[in-house]
Every structure is written in C-alpha cells, then in structure tokens.
C-alpha cells in the first residue's frame, strides 16, 4: 500500500478531500507540508476508523469524549486532546495536543480499516487556498505531488469539520463546521466559542484562508447591483456568488446563483469559488449570507476568503 511505503494518498471524506500520510512516519508527514507549502507549526488532523484506538494517541481520554463520539462519530467533528508521547511533533505542529476525528465517508473508512493505523490528513490543496471537494480539484492543486487520488465523487458536506478542544475544563469551539454550537451543547452542555490565549493552534484558523487567487469582497444584498455597476464603469470584470439570479444580463459579469438552501450552498461553496476564480475577473463579489447560527461555518469560510484581498 502506498501509505505503508511512505507516499501520499488523497482520499475523500464527507467534508473535503484529504491529503493523507502514515501518521507514524515522520518523513511521510513532512511530505504533506512540502506538497501544500504548509507552515511547520500548523498541526495536522489525525484520522482514525474507530474511537477505540484513541488511547494510542492521547495522554488521557476526556470525560466529554464518550457522549460526543456516540453522538457525532463517525462524522465531521474533530476533537483536540492532550497528545500521547507516541505522537510526532510534526503531526501536532510542535504542540502538546493532537486533533483527531473519525470520518464517515465509506471510502475513507475502508482506507483507514485496510491501512490499520492512523492517517494524518489536512485538506488536499495548497496552504490557505480553496479546499477540494472533487477529485479533479486535487489534481489541479497539487499535480504530481500526490501519486494516488482515490475518487469518491463529490464531498457531501463541502466544508471542513467542526473543531472542538477538550483541553480545558469547559470545551471550546475553535472552528465552526456542519455540526453546530447548539448541537454540541445539546450533548455536553455549555461550551466556550473562539480561541483564547491558551487555545491550541488548529487548522483553518489563520485570518486569511480558503482563498481563491482572485480578490474577494463580501457585499450586502442591497448593494450588490450598484457595486457591480461601479466596477463595470471602471472597465473591470466581475464574478458574483449570489443567492438569486441576476436582475439583468451584463457583459463582463460571471454570475453563479447558489440558492438559499444551506446544505446545497455549503456543499457547492468551494466548487463555486473555484469556478469563479477561473472566470478571469478582477474581483469576486459574494452576496452576504444569512446571520442564522446554522450558517456559521459558511460565514467563517467566506470571511477568511475575503480577508486581505490581493
């Protein structure tokens, strides 16, 4: 198997495609960082096929683990815990914590079971860029840096996992995902939200992330058309991600209507950003999405994509 030989394998999860390496092979782990251009202090997520293998990787199992695993594993929830001595510093980004999840995608489960060990896997794209949700995205991003891509079709969720730290007395939500704040609190009671000074570093936490090559701006729905008109008057090309069709056809505008259904908008978000990035626009305008709590993951990804436009 490629993983046992120290090679990288891209594989689907229900969230996004991961770039996997044997979690106990330090040289293989370093290949992930090289392929992605990822900073060495940015930790990886360890994927297991079953929660029963946790004691091999964590110093102690927190009391909240059992109810969370019962409710959400396999699934898009990553839990951060104190690492065991067997965890590589490369895997953890030099921290005393390790981030772990049990993915639900059947192909990911088959791969993990056949491999018989932990697979470290960040998203299979260049660091800070739009995550891949289809196998062709992986090839576009990484080319020959990954020798094997397992084709599991399109990811069903489309944004990265929720990350919850269990390293403090009260758990702390560090990255929103499709498993919401409210769903977690329904299982284990009140949690903190957002990183504090003591919180571990986790994937996707930098101000600018999930970003296309083109500059991105988020625009209120009432100002979308006027912003487009201003840009067109300046002879600039515009790409638009909105939740409705355009009111009129305009030359120089590429428009994607992503609709108002959360599941579809979220699933297609990264594919839509990639399509708009290929339109050759001077600016991608994104219509502001709902402020409802269940849209938190989408708002997070969009705000990071629009940070520090190039």
The per-residue pLDDT for 75 is 98
Position of tokens 């964590």? Answer: 58
Asked if 285 and 228 count as a contact pair (C-beta separation under 8 A), the reply is yes
Task: Tell me the whole-structure pTM to 2 decimals.
Answer: 0.96
The per-residue pLDDT for 205 is 85
| Token pair for 66 | 């059992």
Percent of the chain whose predicted confidence (pLDDT) is above 70 = 99
What pLDDT digit, counting tens, does each position of 117-139 carry?
999 999 999 999 999 999 999 99
Please report which residue ranges of the chain form alpha helices under DSSP H. 26-36, 65-72, 89-92, 106-115, 135-142, 181-188, 224-233, 262-277, 296-305
What pLDDT digit, counting tens, does each position of 244-272 carry?
999 988 999 999 999 999 999 999 999 99
What pLDDT digit, counting tens, does each position of 31-76 carry?
999 999 999 999 999 999 999 999 999 999 999 999 999 999 999 9
Nearest to 107 by CA among 170, 17, 23: 17
- Please state, in angstroms and rounded to a whole number, the distance separating the CA atoms of residues 284 and 241: 7
Position of tokens 């992605």? Answer: 36
- Please state, in angstroms and rounded to a whole number, the distance separating the CA atoms of residues 287 and 277: 16
Rounded to the nearest angstrom, the gap between the alpha carbon of residue 299 and the centroid of all alpha carbons in its chain is 13
Asked if 45 and 161 count as a contact pair (C-beta separation under 8 A), the reply is yes
- Domain spans of the chain, in order of start: 9-193, 216-305
Query: How is residue 43 annotated by DSSP?
Result: P
Encode 106-138: b = buried (16+ Cβ within 10 Å), e = exposed.
Answer: eebbebbeebeebbbbbbbbebbbbbbbbbebb
CATH number given to 216-305:
3.40.50.11030
Phi, psi of 242 (to 5 degrees): -130, 175
Phi, psi of 12 (to 5 degrees): -85, 145
What pLDDT digit, counting tens, does each position of 70-121 carry?
999 999 999 999 999 989 999 999 999 999 999 999 999 999 999 999 999 9
Nearest to 168 by CA among 50, 285, 259, 80: 80
Q: What mean pLDDT is reported for the chain?
A: 96
Quote the CATH superfamily of domain 9-193.
DHBP synthase (3.90.870.10)
- Please state, in angstroms and rounded to a whole number, the distance separating the CA atoms of residues 40 and 46: 16
pLDDT band at 308 (very low <50, low <70, confident <90, very high): low
């Amino acid at each position: 198997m490629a993983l046992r030989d120290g090679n990288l394998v891209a594989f689907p999860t229900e969230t996004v495609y991961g770039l996997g390496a044997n979690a106990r092979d330090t040289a293989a782990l370093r290949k992930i960082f090289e392929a992605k251009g990822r900073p060495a202090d940015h930790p990886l997520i360890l994927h297991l096929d079953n929660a029963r293998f946790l004691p091999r990787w964590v110093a102690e199992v927190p009391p909240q683990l059992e109810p969370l695993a019962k409710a959400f594993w396999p699934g898009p929830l990553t839990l951060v815990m104190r690492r065991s001595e067997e965890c590589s510093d490369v895997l953890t980004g030099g921290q005393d914590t390790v981030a772990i999840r049990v993915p639900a995608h059947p192909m990911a489960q088959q791969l993990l079971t056949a491999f018989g060990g932990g697979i470290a896997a960040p998203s299979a794209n260049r660091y800070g860029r739009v995550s891949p949700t289809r196998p062709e995205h992986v090839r576009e991003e990484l080319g020959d840096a990954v020798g094997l891509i397992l084709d599991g079709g399109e990811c069903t969720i489309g944004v990265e996992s929720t990350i919850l730290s269990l390293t403090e007395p009260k758990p702390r939500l560090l990255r929103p995902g499709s498993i919401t704040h409210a769903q977690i609190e329904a299982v284990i009671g009140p949690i903190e939200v957002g990183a504090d000074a003591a919180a571990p570093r986790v994937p996707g936490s930098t101000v600018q992330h999930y970003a296309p090559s083109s500059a991105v701006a988020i625009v209120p729905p009432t100002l979308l058309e006027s912003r487009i008109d201003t840009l067109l008057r300046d002879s600039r090309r515009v790409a638009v991600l909105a939740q409705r069709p355009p009111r009129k056809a305009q030359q120089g505008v590429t428009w994607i209507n992503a609709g108002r259904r959360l599941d579809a908008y979220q699933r297609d978000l990264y594919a839509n950003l990639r399509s708009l990035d290929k339109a050759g626009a001077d600016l991608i305008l994104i219509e502001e999405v709902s402020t409802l709590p269940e849209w938190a993951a989408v708002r997070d990804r969009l705000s990071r994509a629009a940070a520090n436009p190039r």
